[in-house]
């Protein structure tokens, strides 16, 4: 069984507890991790209990700490962004980050098709670590999208939502269709709406995983999060 975890925003205790209790084969974090320490340190208690995978979200490039605790961590190779990986016998495709008007805001044409294209125009003073500005490292570039469109997968995980969400994007519908997926899971919106009326139009089942919620690969809710401030 695979668990899909909604935006944790720095709080991992519920994920650790769920893994210790249910022992899933793998977990996939759907972005906005904002790990307070290197990810392998934060998840040290469960690394030997399950496979850990993730995609990044927009807030994972908010600050140097957020960025480094993912991309410089010992689990940097577990980022599914821009590729398909077989996990627990299931082919999962990942597209992290968000659409930004400065780069690409569908349905408009991309302003910059690739990171290399953007770097040709942003100026060296705006570069970070000799490459993309930190913020733009969580922007979706058309080149990453197009590369995935030529792959095949069973499940697609994205930070942004497909068009079944009021703030979703039809380009993600088309991406899932081109890859032949059966299901998609997204974070970012912090809600979990009922998308069943869209199944036929999409050609796959879509699920939104709410803020700090956990869902299994069949769309069953494993746990939800309640704000301690409202207890």
| In the predicted structure, residue 231 carries a pLDDT above the cut 50 | no
> What secondary structure letter does DSSP report for 196?
G
Place of tokens 């008007």: 101
Q: What is the mean pLDDT of residues 127-146?
A: 95
| In the predicted structure, residue 230 carries a pLDDT above the cut 60 | no
**Helix H or strand E segment including 200:** helix 199-202
Residue 123: per-residue pLDDT:
84
> What secondary structure letter does DSSP report for 60?
G
Indicate the average pLDDT of the chain. Answer: 95
Omega prior to 188 cis, within 30 of 0: no
Residue length, the chain?
Answer: 231
180 Cβ neighbours under 8 A, 6+ residues apart: 152, 153
């Amino acid at each position: 069984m695979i668990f899909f975890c909604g935006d944790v925003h720095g709080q991992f205790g519920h994920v650790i507890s769920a893994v210790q209790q249910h022992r899933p084969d793998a977990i996939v974090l759907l972005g906005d991790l904002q790990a307070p320490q290197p990810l392998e340190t934060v998840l040290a208690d469960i690394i030997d209990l399950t496979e850990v995978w993730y995609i990044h979200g927009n807030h994972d490039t908010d600050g140097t700490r957020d960025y480094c605790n993912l991309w410089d961590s010992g689990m940097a190779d577990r980022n599914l962004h821009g590729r398909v990986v077989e996990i627990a016998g299931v082919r999962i495709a990942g597209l992290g980050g968000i659409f930004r008007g400065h780069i690409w805001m569908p349905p408009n044409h991309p302003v910059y098709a690739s990171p290399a294209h953007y770097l040709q125009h942003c100026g060296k003073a705006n570069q970070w670590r000799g490459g993309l500005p930190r913020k733009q490292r969580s922007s979706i570039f058309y080149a990453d999208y197009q590369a995935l469109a030529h792959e095949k997968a069973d499940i697609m995980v994205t930070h942004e939502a497909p068009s079944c969400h009021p703030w979703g994007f039809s380009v993600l519908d088309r991406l899932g269709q081109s890859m032949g997926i059966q299901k998609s899971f997204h974070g970012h919106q912090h809600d979990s709406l009922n998308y069943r009326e869209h199944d036929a139009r999409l050609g796959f089942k879509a699920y939104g995983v709410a803020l700090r919620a956990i869902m299994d690969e069949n769309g069953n809710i494993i746990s939800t999060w309640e704000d301690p401030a409202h207890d």
